[in-house]
Structure 1
Amino acid sequence: MSKSLALVSGLVVLSLAGCSSQLEKSTATGSYKYLKAEQQPKIQVPDELNQPEFSDEYALPTLGQGADKGLVGRDLRIVSPALVHPLVTGSHVQEGSEGAVVTFDQVDDRQPLSQAIWNAVKSFLDKQNVGISQFDEAQNVLVTDWFVLSEEVEDEDSPWYAWSSDIDAEKKRRFKFMLDVKPHGRTASLRTELVEFEQQLGDNTVTEINDFARHREEVDILNEVISHYEYQIQLDNNRRIAEIRQGLQTEMSFNKDGDPAILVKGQYDVVWPRMLLVLRKLGFDVKDLDKSTGLLFVTFNGDDDGWWNNLFSGDSELLDEGDYRLQIARSGDNTTVTFMDDESQPFTAKEVTDLYDPFSEVMTQDNLDI
């Protein structure tokens, strides 16, 4: 009997020890008797006596006009601040900015920055199965349909001895996303605002929340969008790396000016970074480059250890060591590569033909080291 009683007592103690609610974890500990305290007047000292020195070190500041005077005691949540997490490369939070807002700087020129941001927002909504209520592309404003979250939460009014204090809850939110694009188009700030809120707690419906809770909702949804944007970028980078490492077919051709060139059967944005790998493999050092113009300034040093040296220099004198330039240009869905000397004079058809085999051999190789 005593063993059974001890076992039951132990289970009761363990169950009570685990009953610390989410509310208790987010509120101040200790007594709330201070809520009933009244302001006491200062000590009155007769004028004929020496006056003591009073310190204002622990004086409480006066509440501002917009302060919520109801945030005291158990109604004041003690939680970490809601902070925007700028995870995306080129993103940051402006110092002194208010609200849920993040700023992006353009680091990828393949599409306009505003288009990339809106694509990320729409993709996130699609993943969450949330529709778009309104989208004004000219004004850069998007309003969502309802985000609906159903879960069981702890009933804060439930007595401590209740075996189960969980109640069904449904939280619904609608948000507005606003994009402020700088005139040059390479910097944009995405801001989030909560436009509607509704929470069903058992039989009770809540439609109003305080400013702190509102800010947390706005920051949380913005962080989810940023995280999704970063995830998309990583997927795209992995895909691009796979494309860059994949071999591309080539053929002899001409550039738009009629100069002899090598046609690479791949899009410009894939061929451009792959050219850096190919040139390194062929014994070139890239001194300078400009993707917007397609110019590469290189130095050929030869390769004493490889068979490229036998093709590019030595007795055959196909290519002397020195400085050269390459012009990379779009040609529909393909790309042309024009070899030039250090004075921008294109190579002759014979020179390009002599270089074609070693160039094509490397360009068509798979899994080049990055």
Structure 2
Amino acid sequence: MNRIPVVPAARTTALAVAVALAGCSSIGDMLSGDKVDYRSTKVREQPLDVPPDLSQLARDSRYQAQGGVVSAANSGLATSANGAAMAGAVAPAARGETRVERLGNERWLVVPMSPDQLWPQLKTFWQERGFVIESEDAQTGILETDWAENRAKLPHDFIRTTIGRVFGNLYDTGERDRFRMRVERTATGSEVYIAHRGLEEVYVGDRKDATEWRPRASDPQLEAEMLTRLMVKLGTPETQAREAVAAPAVAQSRARLVQGTPATVEVDESFDRAWRRVGLVLDRTGFSVEDRDRAAGLYFVRYIDPKEIGKEEPGFFSKLFGGAKDGPAGPQRYRVLVKAAGDKTTVTVQPASGSGSAGESGDRIAGILANELR
């Protein structure tokens, strides 16, 4: 006679509680209908604890995020605390005055605060969204997040909404996102640009038994979503922010490649608009803007072949054994010159020295810029 195994009551109770908690959390997620729920591929680094008999060294607090690390459990409390701490100097000027400007699929925020005032809130914003900040430079106004997974894209079926909530690592979207934020100083405050880059995991090989990460197209809708949430962070009511970001697009200007030595991109718009659009295109298409000089119309960039972008994603063992992050040849440096020409603007690619020709590589880059600026 076969005996039916008996599961201990304690184990049954623990499993039931785990499933119940997972189910409640999942139902909340489904009802909220959130479009983004990021989880970084890296773990945040915590500062070292200071022994009781020692005092903490003074730090330059100009660009420190207010309120420290924010967890999902106390994000509401942290946000309230941040707002109260900065209300006297920042909040009244920002509330209701942040606006969106748009050209085609490209959007950016115009904020009536200087980059010095704005930077701490921007840094906190990305941390609250679940990102680890990969690199930041307050002097140049550039911040880049680590690759992160948008868990909101996971299916919400019965298994996922119960056991999957407990064993979350068993599920993966096969996609990673990274955002690059750039802050420009203006006469009346700041302009904030957000550019998205994406990776997707694809099967390779004859037997399709291995995977690798490959670049996928940038997503203007994700950029728009982040701009909307940033507007809310800066004090704009959510309904007003979403209406502003979703406003009808302005007719997109035209750009063309003019063959010559060097090849030149001719853009049918003023210098100010061309400067903004060129900056967004550079952020999206494999360029890393190291510095810029708006008065001279220059972007100083590194170009990384898009085929190499996925190799910086965690999981490629070459990174663990000292392999170069940007490929064996390393990144190439160039200068991108944006120059007013009457009612049009020209864009040319120069070598890092600024003299001579960038050769075939420069012409190829000019072709990329022309295609993206059309």
Question: TM-score normalized by structure 2?
Answer: 0.29
Question: TM-score normalized by structure 1?
Answer: 0.29
| CA radius of gyration, larger in | 1
